[in-house]
Structure 1
Amino acid sequence: MKLYIKNMVCQRCIMAVQTILKSLHLKYNYVILGEIEIENNINETEKQSLSTKLQEIGFELIDDKKHQIIEKIKNYVIQFIHHDKESLKINLSNFLSSELGYEYNYLSNLFSEVEGTTIEKYVIIQKIEKVKELIVYDELSLKEIAFQMGYSSVAYLSNQFKKVTGLTPSHFKTIGQQKRVSLDFL
């Protein structure tokens, strides 16, 4: 039995869901971003208990097919941007169509209808979140970050970064360094 979960974004989310499943003595085949497969069908009481436990940590069971598709799109985008450097080189629209079994136009329209934004804007927001993370780590130059994230130039990355955050990457980095220094004195 497959169940779909909203708001899972990282490995810690997977581990948290696994912990809940174990605490409820629900055997599962796998837990991935946004999806779990329970070994056996569960009754309504077990499902409600699972739902309650998930809500306590900010997750939500999704029963509606449209929302399941939206969550899968989000999870693929997050996987691409945050966890798989090579994936930025493939065509996301073709990949989503292939994986989800729907025309990209349908997926794009559904995403916009339900989320109030486009898949492309969601991708940009996720990319900028990853760029912010890389800037804070301070291990790569902005040029290296731009290359790693699939931007054609530092200028293009900087323009997109400013549109999303209201700050230039260098100003964001300065703010991050100031916060680290102030935390060192606590």
Structure 2
Amino acid sequence: MSTLFIKNMVCNRCIMVVQNELDKLGLNVKKIKLGEVVLDKEITSEEKNNVDKVLIPLGFELIDDKKSRIIEKIKNIIIDLVHHQDNHAKTNLSDVLSSQLHHDYNYLSNLFSEVEGTTIEKYFIAQKVEKVKELLVYDELSLSEIAFRLNYSSVSYLSNQFKKVTGLTPSYFKQIKEDKRKPLDSL
């Protein structure tokens, strides 16, 4: 078996695209999730180069070094927590990251800041604000329902954080409904 680590996989569509490209190359995927693909056999360096050649034009790339893999895993865990889990339980981000990545949170935090130039917390907040934008545009939930869904302690806390990041209040953002959302992989 061989595991490939892939940068910029942020959604289920990304998983489908990567799966499709690997299928075209004749590589047998045993398991695929955000940022990680397990193949049924070891691949040659030529096959790895071919994978890179098809993925790069699509906005993905293979990650070889350990630090980059950890950074990508941190991002994928945060994206999954914010965008793909309707988790109403209070989760401590540092505990989640430490337990899933088997590293001390201080190590993860320092590594992330060193490589990304921002903190894990700021990245997490940016993801939450993007999710708030998405939910506001869908216009299916009230602001208090959004605050509850994203584990904000109050609507005013959500509003303050939203305004600090975007410069707009959630209600004003909802009024203008321009596409102010950024692609997840550009955060």
TM-score bracket, shorter-length normalisation: over 0.9
Alignment TM-score, normalising by the size of structure 1:
0.93
Residues 117-139 of structure 1 show CA distances to partners (whole Å, capped at 9, x for unaligned) of: 01000000000000000000101
Report 1 or 2 for greater relative contact order, CA contacts < 8 Å, sequence distance ≥ 6: 2
Identity %: 63
Whether contact under 8 Å (1:88, 1:149) holds in the other structure is no
Residues 151-184 of structure 1 show CA distances to partners (whole Å, capped at 9, x for unaligned) of: 11111111110111111111111111799xxxxx
2:87 is paired with a residue whose SS is helix
Whether contact under 8 Å (1:81, 1:88) holds in the other structure is no
1:55 is paired with a residue whose SS is helix
Question: What's 1:164 paired with?
Answer: 165
Question: What's 1:183 paired with?
Answer: none
Where do 4+ consecutive residues of structure 1 move more than 4 Å?
none
Question: What's 1:4 paired with?
Answer: 5
Q: Give the drift of 1:99.
A: 1.2
Deviates more, 1:87-96 or 1:121-130: 87-96
Aligned residue type for 1:130 = K
1:140 is paired with a residue whose SS is coil
Q: Please list every run of 5 or more consecutive structure 2 residues that lacks an aligned counterpart in the other structure.
A: 181-187
Bigger Rg, which one: 1
2:162 paired with 1:173? no
The 1:171–1:3 alpha-carbon spacing in structure 2 relative to 1, beyond 3 Å, is same
Aligned residue type for 2:116 = E
Q: Which has the higher helix share?
A: 1
Aligned residue type for 1:155 = S
Question: What's 2:71 paired with?
Answer: 70
Question: What's 1:182 paired with?
Answer: none
CA RMSD of aligned residues (A): 1.5
Alignment TM-score, normalising by the size of structure 2:
0.92
Q: Give the drift of 1:37.
A: 0.7
